[in-house]
Amino acid sequence: MTQSIWRMPRWFHQMGSPKWFYDFGGSLQPWFAIAAFALLTWGMVWGLAFAPADYQQGNSFRIMYVHVPAALLSQSVFLGMAVAGAVGIIWKIKVAFMVARSCIAIGATFTAIALLTGAIWGKPTWGAYWVWDARLTSTLVLLFLYAGVMALNQAITDRQIAGKATAILAIVGTINIPIIKYSVEWWNTLHQSSSFTLTAKPSMPADMYLPLLLTVLGSYCVFVLVILIRTRAQILQTQSGANWLMQHRDITGA
C-alpha cells in the first residue's frame, strides 16, 4: 500500500473531518449568503439599469451580466470538482468526495444557464438562437461531460465507490477540457474573441465591466454557498447516528 508518499498537513487532515467541516462550513454559510446577495444585487442593478448601452449591440449586451459569470463558473466548478476528487483519492478524505458530488448539479446548472443565455444573446447578435460557434459548442460539450459525471455518480449504488469513480472521471474530463476547447476552436475559427479576462486590461469602459466583476464575484459566492449547504446536508445524511452529531447543538437544540 502506497499511503504515505504525500504526507498530509495537520490542518488538512482536520479539514477532512466531517465534524470540522460541518461546524466550520456552518459558520461560513451566512457570510457567503450575505456576500452573494449583496454582490449580485449591486452588480445586477448597476449592470442592467445604469451601465451605458453598447454602441454596437445596444441593450442586448446586458445579458452578459448573467452569461459571463455562468460561463466562467461552468468551467471553474468542473475544475473544483476534479480538485476535490483528487484530494479525496490522494488523502482518502470522504468529505472531499462529498464536495465533489455537490459540485455536479450546480456546475451543470451554470453550464445550462451559460448555454441558454448564449443562445438568447445569439439571436440579436448572429440572427439565430444557435450557431455552431466555438464557445457555444465547447460549452455544450462541457454540459455533456457534466451529464456523464452525473449519470455515473447515480448509477453506482455504493456511495464511496461512486465518489471515487466520479473523481476519476472528473479528473480525466478536466485534463481533456483544454484539448476539447482547442480542437473546437480550431474546428471553428469564426468565434468572437474573448472580451473579458480578469488579468488583461478590459476593452470595455469601467461602467460596463465593474458591474460584471461584481456579478462574477457574486456568482462565486453562490457557488461556495451551495457547496457548503449541499455538503453539510450530505454529512447529516451519512453521519446520522455518529456520536458527535447526536451530541451536536443543531440536533439537541441546546
> Which is nearer to other proteins, 69 or 173 (by Cβ)?
173
Residues between 27 and 46 with contacts to other proteins, criterion CB under 8 A: none
* Rounded CA separation 25/217 (Å): 19
Grid coordinates given for 55: 454602441
CB of 145 or CB of 226, closer to other proteins: 145
User: 69 to each of 17, 46, 57, 114, 245, how far by Cα in Å?
Assistant: 32, 15, 19, 8, 37
Q: Which is nearer to other proteins, 140 or 204 (CB)?
A: 140
Cell numbers placing 186: 480550431
Q: How far apart are CA 149 and CA 155, in angstroms?
A: 10
- How many residues touch other proteins (CB under 8 A)? 50
Which parts of 195-234 interact with other proteins (CB under 8 A)?
A: none
187-190, Cβ contacts within 8 angstroms, sequence gap of 24 or more: 187/134, 187/137, 188/132, 188/133, 188/134, 188/137, 189/134, 190/133, 190/134
What span, in angstroms and rounded, lies between the C-alpha atoms of 252 and 152? 37
Closer of 53 and 151 to other proteins (Cβ): 151
| Pairwise CA distance, residues 118 & 155, whole Å | 31
Report the distance separating Cα 43 and Cα 220, nearest Å. 13
Q: Which of 39, 72, 96, 184 binds other proteins (CB under 8 A)?
A: 184
Nearer to other proteins, 203 or 240 (CB): 240
User: Is residue 239 close enough to count as binding other proteins by CB under 8 A?
Assistant: yes
Secondary structure class of 54 (helix, strand, coil): strand
Q: CA-CA distance, 110 to 73, in Å (whole number)?
A: 6
Of these, 5, 49, 128, 179, which contacts other proteins (CB under 8 A)? 179
User: What count of residues does the chain have?
Assistant: 254
What SS3 state is found at 96?
Answer: helix
Q: Find the binder of other proteins among 45, 194, 247, 251 (CB under 8 A).
A: 247
Query: Any contact of residue 82 with other proteins (CB under 8 A)?
Result: no
| Residues in 119-178 that interact with other proteins by CB under 8 A | 141, 144-145, 147-148, 151-152, 155-156, 158-161, 164-165, 168-169, 171-173, 175-176
User: Is residue 180 within the footprint of other proteins (CB under 8 A)?
Assistant: yes
Task: Candidates 19, 48, 126, 191: give the one binding other proteins (CB under 8 A).
Answer: 19
Strands (DSSP E) found in 28-104: none
Which among 9-17, 56-64, 108-116, 125-133 is the span making contact with other proteins, rule CB under 8 A? 9-17
Q: Could you tell me how far CA 247 lies from the centroid of its own chain?
A: 33
Residues that bind other proteins (CB under 8 A): 1, 13-14, 16-20, 89, 92-94, 141, 144-145, 147-148, 151-152, 155-156, 158-161, 164-165, 168-169, 171-173, 175-176, 179-180, 182-184, 186-187, 238-245, 247
